[in-house]
Amino acid sequence: MSDDVGDLMPLTDLAPGMGLRWADEPNALKVDRFGIHSLCYRVDGGQLRFAARADELADASTEIDPQAIFDYLYFHAIPSPRTIYKDIYRLPPGHRAAMGNGQLTVTPYWQPRFEEQRKPSFSALKDEFRQLLQQAVAAQLDGSKPACFLSGGTDSSTVAGMIGLASGKAAASYSIGFHAQGYDEIEYARLAARHFKTEHHEYYVTPEDLVRSIPAVAAYFDQPFGNSSALPSYYCATMAREDGVSKILAGDGGDELFGGNSRYAKQRVFGWYGHVPGLLQKGLMEPLLGGRAAQALTLTRKAGSYVEQARVPMPDRMQMYNLIIRLGASEVLTPQLMAQIDTTAPLALQRRVWQAPQQASALNRELAYDWRFTLAESDLPKVLGATGCAGLAVGFPMLDQRLLDFSLKLPTDYKLNGLKLRWFFKEALRGFLPDQTIAKKKQGFGLPFGVWANTHPALKALATDSLHSLARRGVVRTDFVQTLLTQRLPEHPAYFGEMVWILMMLEQWLAAKAPSFSVPA
């Protein structure tokens, strides 16, 4: 299959490619389990048309979907099956599309089955794991200059080291830094580079870089995309491309397969509340800690917050601090947009995904949920977009099928041991990775946008112009934009900078791809 839009009538006349695979039926396609490769489609005049990108299926008459705008503000991306365009859809990861009797049917062909080993041999699993890691990295090398992103975290450091074992050559490693307190972890990247003797390269992203590249990066994506790490990833990929690299390896997936995100431990703590006897919950804790008196003291206020969150079932609990929900959708969005959206739709999708795995522990259910919303809908598109914009191919060895299958059999407490994140992964690589790498907290290429937007005039002007333009389109309220930029951003730049960023990137995409769009009254 080529990059061009094609007709799927019938599918048997097409050649497979672009990472899409024929399903068992002759008239069906399926997308890989993490959605690394994309398939968008629309029915047009009785024909099913497809492309790798949603914008390749759009024409001058294609309308922007107001619900997709809300989904974007909720997730900071637009999860499949919806796209930014009405009547254009994206095949979700692990799903198949089949034609029969003139009808298109989209169904999942794969759901994770966690079959945990009982009382496994740690030593045997460790040996198997290290071998699988080396094989996974080797499978992604294509004979060109071996290279990888290197944030200094566990995953990227592991990939850097395994490249040396798999290829017999030191990896070329590429890292990004920021001259902003609390955002720069370049020392951990340097630590891993020294440990594995990589050919190391660094670049410090500046506010001027953002002003120069935000419009181009926003326009490269086929629909609005708000993961702010895309910009530093783009500069990292550009540095590698200028150094002669044609394919770069990324470490994405290790946290989600092996239990490395801090929220996993946090949600386990909330889960403990379910073991408190119901009579004690309802008769004492909730009445005592839910009243106004409990807010007067720090200890009881924190205990009340714990109970409040613990009472909410998953996955709803994870959305209690969702930015658009906390701010209030009606306080952010115009009445004309509010009239055209369903604010409950994103959570309904999350609930369906949450319920899909069968017979899974609470942690494994979280992992499977993150495979969809963290990896497939956010982190992987971020890396794919950043590298594509820079002209690089990219590989994800941590998402190798063999490593996925291995993770499915690991006991839950090998992933989260008490409150110790990715316990097995770290213990299995102790002695291979530097001890400081194993002990460090996760950070990645986090962008200090909010801090810079307050202090850098050109960046502040770009953000301000973008948000006011979005208000003129009828998407966001003018009074909200004014308050956000003049009060909230200066007071809490890290927190409210995220909202400024996602609104700015939405406007930048619309300016490039749908300049005449406005929300109909």
Distance CA(499)–CA(450), nearest Å, equals 9
Q: What is the enclosing helix (H) or strand (E) of 48? A: strand 47-51
Residue 433 confidence class, pLDDT cut points 50, 70, 90: very high
Average pLDDT, the chain: 90
The 10s digit of each residue's pLDDT in 435-457 is 999 998 765 557 899 999 999 99
440: nearest Cα among 156, 234, 205 = 156
Matching residue, tokens 């939405």: 506
Percent share of the chain, pLDDT over 70: 93
Q: Is the pLDDT of residue 301 over 90?
A: no
Report the pLDDT value the prediction gives residue 179, as an integer from 0 to 100.
87
At 360-413, the pLDDT tens digits run: 999 999 999 999 999 999 999 999 999 999 999 999 999 999 999 999 999 999
pLDDT at 442: 60
- DSSP summary character for residue 149: E
What does DSSP assign to residue 442? P
16-25, 80-89, 248-257, 345-354, range with the lowest pLDDT: 16-25
Q: Mapped to the 3 state alphabet, what secondary structure does 472-521 carry?
A: HCCCECHHHHHHHHHHHHHHCHHHHHHHHHHHHHHHHHHHHHCCCCCCCC
Average pLDDT over residues 334-350: 97
Contacts of 141 (CB under 8 A, 6+ apart): 163, 166, 167, 249, 395
Give 301's Cβ-side CA count (13 Å radius): 5
Residue with tokens 């909410």: 312
Q: Is the pLDDT of residue 292 over 80?
A: no
Sorted by where each starts, the structural domains of the chain and their CATH numbers stand as 6-108 (no CATH), 122-259+370-439 (3.40.50.620), 265-363 (no CATH), 449-513 (no CATH)
Question: What are 91-136's pLDDT values in tens digits?
Answer: 999 999 887 777 788 999 999 999 999 999 999 999 999 999 999 9
Query: Would you tell me the crossing angle of helices 362-370 and 262-271 to the nearest 10 degrees?
Result: 140
Q: Which of 205, 206, 175, 172 is nearest to 188 (CA)?
A: 175
15 pLDDT band, cuts 50/70/90, is very low
| C-alpha torsion sign, points 367, 370, 372, 374 | negative
Position 41, amino acid: Y
pTM of the model: 0.92
Distance between CA 229 and CA 85 in Å, rounded?
A: 24
* pLDDT band of 282, cuts 50, 70, 90: confident
Predicted pLDDT of residue 10: 34
How confident is residue 278, by pLDDT bands cut at 50, 70 and 90? confident
- Asked whether residue 52 carries a pLDDT value surpassing 60, the answer given is yes
Query: What is the pLDDT at residue 14?
Result: 34
Token output for 263: 């929220």
Task: Write out the DSSP string of 241-277.
Answer: HHTT-SEEE--TTHHHHHT--HHHHHHHHHHGGGGS-
